[in-house]
Amino acid sequence: MVFAYFACLFFSRILSICVECSSSNQEYTTKRGYWMNKVYAIIGPPASGKTTLVKALNNYRIPAIISHTTRLPKKEEINGVDYHFVDKEVFLKLPMIEKVNYSGHFYGLSKDEVLSKVKESSISVVEVDLRGLEQLKKLLGERLTAIFLFADKETILNRYVLQGDNDQEINRRIEYAEAAGEFVNWQKADYVVKNTGQLDVTVRQVLAIMDVSWVKSEF
């Protein structure tokens, strides 16, 4: 009788733990520790579709780690969604893991923003350049996986033209990307995905890498 009583208590406790762990992804993260959470860094040349991919992944409840910038938002951009738009004084006070000055404006990834997202989410995604990737590796170690989004130069040039950029701006962006190693940084990635222009195909490939199977959010 005593053995049966304690056996019943033991199996009741096991069942309780299983229910707690499966109740929600967020609860699992809190109970087990955020050191198990993963960050996927999207790298690649300019106009390869990185920003579009990150936004598409958000529809699958994969949150993005948002960078800060001192430039003014464009008409269609939303603060806290596309960037955290701040003035130079605020930007320079933030603990940045990497920052660049491009066309007179600062862009950077805040250490607090990264760690906050890692604690909150079992999976998150971030768009970074090669220097940002190196700093993220130092900060996150094995929790970081890099995905290189490939697009050839002809495709990239065509996208710039469709965006309405002039030849001078296009050449400046390409030269900046080449100097930063953005066309060859696939060597630093764990996976390479070719952007064929079919967003749904690219998203499915990335979700497979992430081992994500949940359905697209309706919100």
The pLDDT-based confidence of 2 (bands split at 50, 70, 90) is very low
**Does the pLDDT of residue 7 top 70, yes or no?**
no
pLDDT of residue 36: 77
pTM over 0.85? The answer is no
- For residue 156, give the DSSP letter: H
SS3 assignment, position 164: coil
Take residue 13 and report the two structure tokens written for it. Answer: 């406790």
Q: Which two tokens stand for residue 24?
A: 């929600």
The span from the CA of 180 to the CA of 159, in Å, is 20
Give per-residue pLDDT as tens, 128-151: 988 899 999 999 999 999 999 998
Is 90 exceeded by the pLDDT of residue 110? Answer: yes
The per-residue pLDDT for 39 is 97
- Least confident segment among 2-11, 60-69, 75-84, 174-183: 2-11
Domains observed in the chain: 37-210 (3.40.50.300)
pLDDT (0 to 100) of residue 120: 92
Spell out the long-range contacts of 192-199 with Cβ–Cβ below 8 A and sequence spacing 24 or more: 192/147, 192/148, 192/150, 193/147, 193/148, 193/149, 193/150, 194/150, 194/151, 195/48, 195/49, 195/53, 195/149, 195/150, 195/151, 195/155, 197/155, 199/49, 199/52, 199/53, 199/56
pLDDT digits (tens, 9 = 90+) for 42-101: 999 888 999 999 999 999 999 999 999 999 999 999 999 999 999 999 999 999 999 999
CB-based contacts of 1, cutoff 8 Å, min separation 6 = none
The separation between the first and the last C-alpha atoms of the chain, rounded to the nearest angstrom, is: 53
| Percent of the chain scoring above 90 in pLDDT | 55
pLDDT of residue 155: 80
The residue type of 164 is G
